[in-house]
Amino acid sequence: MVSCKPMKKDFISALQKQLQTPQKIVVIPHKNPDGDALGSTLAWMLFLQKNKHDAVVISPNDYPDFLKWMPAQDQILIFSQNESSVENKIQEADLIFTLDFNSLSRIDQLGSLVADSKAIKVMIDHHQEPDSYAQLMYSDTEMSSTCEMIYKLIHTLDASSITPEIASCLYTGIMTDTGSFRFPSTTAATHKAIAHLIECGADGTAIHQNIYDSSSFNRLKLLGIALSNLNQIPGLPIVYIQLTQKELNSCDYKKGDTEGFVNYGLSLDGVVFSCIMIENENEGKIKMSFRSKGDFSVNDFARTYFEGGGHHNAAGGMSTTSMEETVQRFKKAVEEVKNQFH
């Protein structure tokens, strides 16, 4: 028997009420959107457009080249490149959907525009500890991905409306957030959703190739540098990688090039916690990614030590100190939690 939490009926009926007549709608993914953030926002935008709404996706900033094949991505408005038209859209919106994040801090300066807007805000998300900025909320931390939540939602509202484009968007986010259907969040319901999305026209092989077999030569060289920088914390099942701006520059770094590097640490026998620290000179900070296997909560770790958060086994954070100091702070933090590893 597969148990699967039903979507709350009051959420569905409140949403249906809001969507009865054509509305002006903005759909927002988190900053540095990944496959799940873009897949869910684009699929939801396409569904809304099909239902006669005036819907647009507004991304806080640009996204990696390996997502630039996605259906309808040419309609995305990027805030950092179109500030005044984005401001207008948000001011005029009747409804704002925020997808794949649960705190307005995850969309930088867009956050205050959203907070000040008169629009009804709807959050659809699977991260832990949601903030309470939205009037309507569909939050389920057990879901594999926001795309699986949007699949459930569209399936409930009108299962016959899943076009090949919507199916491809949703397949993409489920695939990327589940590590190609292998993380523990992957359930029988996830596979059933995927099976249906294939029936609706998603081409799994093509999507996989677009995302994972589209690396540049430089990106693979950068992976080589990252792997040669791999360090282990003595006596603990923990590894970390540092990448400096200089190293990124030496491989002509482009947005998205380091996606997935942190997972290599977890491929080591016995390792259950992996971290990557990536310098961003422009923003004056170090972006940190954390991944774990089993009981250790990187969500808690990121929140406690590095101003971040995310999921139990995948989270992010940041540091504004130098790389050397960040590594020292990471080691100190690990020392404080080390009894969780025995």
Q: Which window, 210-218, 263-271, 277-285, 315-323, contacts ligand 5GP (CB under 6 A)? A: 315-323
Minimal distance, residue 10 CB to Mn ion, in Å = 24
Residue of 315, 326, 327, 330 interacting with ligand 5GP (CB under 6 A): 315
Using CB atoms, what's the residue nearest to ligand 5GP?
Answer: 316
Q: What would the 3-class secondary structure string for the chain be?
A: CCCCCCCCHHHHHHHHHHCCCCCEEEEECCCCCCHHHHHHHHHHHHHHHHCCCEEEEEECCCCCHHHCCCCCHHHCEEHHHCHHHHHHHHHHCCEEEEECCCCHHHHCCHHHHHHHCCCEEEEEECCCCCCCCCCEEEECCCCCCHHHHHHHHHHHHHHHHCCHHHHHHHHHHHHHHCCCCCCCCCCHHHHHHHHHHHHCCCCHHHHHHHHHCCCCHHHHHHHHHHHHCCEECCCCCEEEEEECHHHHHHCCCCCCCCCCCCHHHHCCCCCCEEEEEEEECCCCEEEEEEEECCCCCHHHHHHHHCCCEECCCEEEEEECCCHHHHHHHHHHHHHHHHHHHC
Query: Does residue 219 belong to the site contacting ligand 5GP (CB under 6 A)?
Result: no
Q: Which residues bind Mn ion (CB under 5 A)?
A: 36, 100, 145-146, 177
Query: Does residue 316 belong to the site contacting ligand 5GP (CB under 6 A)?
Result: yes
Query: Does residue 289 belong to the site contacting ligand 5GP (CB under 6 A)?
Result: yes
Which of Mn ion, ligand 5GP, none interacts with 317 (beta carbon under 5 to 8 A by kind)? ligand 5GP
Which of Mn ion, ligand 5GP, none interacts with 316 (beta carbon under 5 to 8 A by kind)? ligand 5GP
Query: Does residue 311 belong to the site contacting ligand 5GP (CB under 6 A)?
Result: yes
CA 177 to chain centre: 7
Residue of 271, 308, 313, 319 interacting with ligand 5GP (CB under 6 A): 308
Minimal distance, residue 304 CB to ligand 5GP, in Å = 12
Question: Based on CB atoms, which residue is closest to ligand 5GP, 204 or 256?
Answer: 256
Which of Mn ion, ligand 5GP, none interacts with 98 (beta carbon under 5 to 8 A by kind)? none
User: How many Å apart are CA 105 and CA 124, to the nearest integer?
Assistant: 16
Residue 313 in contact with residue 291, Cβ under 8 Å? yes
Minimal distance, residue 33 CB to ligand 5GP, in Å = 9
User: How many Å apart are CA 254 and CA 97, to the nearest integer?
Assistant: 29
Query: Does residue 71 belong to the site contacting ligand 5GP (CB under 6 A)?
Result: no
Which of Mn ion, ligand 5GP, none interacts with 29 (beta carbon under 5 to 8 A by kind)? none
- Kindly write out the interface string for residues 24-43 of this chain, putting x where it contacts ligand 5GP by CB under 6 A and - elsewhere: ------x-------------
Which of Mn ion, ligand 5GP, none interacts with 152 (beta carbon under 5 to 8 A by kind)? none
Q: Which window, 85-93, 165-173, 182-190, 309-317, contacts ligand 5GP (CB under 6 A)? A: 309-317
Residue of 174, 310, 319, 327 interacting with ligand 5GP (CB under 6 A): 310
Question: Based on CB atoms, which residue is closest to ligand 5GP, 237 or 317?
Answer: 317
Q: In what order do the strands lie in the sheet with 136-139?
A: 77-78, 54-59, 24-28, 95-99, 120-125, 136-139
Question: Based on CB atoms, which residue is closest to ligand 5GP, 103 or 117?
Answer: 103
Enumerate binding residues for ligand 5GP (CB under 6 A).
30, 103, 106, 289, 308-311, 314-318
